[in-house]
A and B are shown apart, each in its own frame.
Chain A
Amino acid sequence: MIPLQYYLLLAGILFAIGAYGIMTLSNGIRLLMCVELMLNSANINLVAFSTHINDASGQVFALFSIALAAAEAAVGFAIILMVYRLRAEIDIENVNLLRW
């Protein structure tokens, strides 16, 4: 059996990659991809702890989290599509509708 620390390290690596991508990106599609990376690292944590304490609730939560990630991706891509129709670009450095 693989120790719990390896799962946590993998989740930490994935979350760090996602955070680095979000901090450096300038593309809307890459934003959604990095958000998915961070969500999936949280799912790995849920399943790892669920197996560790021998309780299936964490895996049910991971399933719910995956479904919510699908909903978030659908709405996010629709918003990016609208931004592309308005501005003819998806460079989020130039999309300042919601910024002060």
Chain B
Amino acid sequence: MISKILNAVVALLFFAVVAMSAVGTDWFSTPLTLVENDSSGIVHIGTMIFTTYVVAFEVLALVLLAALIGGIYLAKEDEEEVTA
């Protein structure tokens, strides 16, 4: 019980540090004019994935494949090898 209170105090102190730094920092404010070539559009994101970050995208595909194979291998039942 004491350790839970201590953990809550640690988490609250961490949040206090983050909150003070987030509020206290003077973030520069961009005017954010809405132009026709809006960079927050989903079309622009898709274009960036398949042009600028296409190497990271392919590496991510390999990582997902490796995680899939590893997950299936770890979760596989071992009894099939006994019967086979």
Contact = CB atoms under 8 A, between A and B. Distances in A.
Given A16-B18, A63-B45, A23 B60 contact: no
Contacts, number: 105
B23 interface: yes
A56 B40 contact: yes
Contact of B45 (A16, A24, A60, A78): A60
A16 B60 contact: no
B53 A4 contact: no
Contacts of A8: 18, 22
Interface string A1-20: 10011001101110111011
A20 to B, nearest CB: 4
Contact of B19 (A12, A23, A50, A74): A12
Interface of A: 1, 4-5, 8-9, 11-13, 15-17, 19-20, 23-24, 50-57, 59-60, 63-64, 67-68, 70-72, 74-75, 77-79, 81-82
17 contacts: A4-B27, A5-B22, A9-B18, A12-B18, A12-B22, A15-B15, A15-B18, A16-B14, A19-B10, A57-B48, A60-B49, A70-B64, A71-B64, A72-B67, A74-B70, A78-B75, A82-B75
Interface of B: 3-4, 7-8, 10-12, 14-15, 18-19, 22-23, 27, 30, 32, 39-41, 44-45, 48-49, 52-53, 56-57, 60, 63-64, 66-68, 70-75
Given A8-B22, A19-B10, A74-B68, 16 more contacts: A15-B14, A15-B15, A17-B11, A20-B7, A24-B4, A24-B7, A54-B40, A56-B41, A56-B44, A57-B53, A60-B48, A60-B52, A63-B49, A71-B64, A75-B71, A78-B72
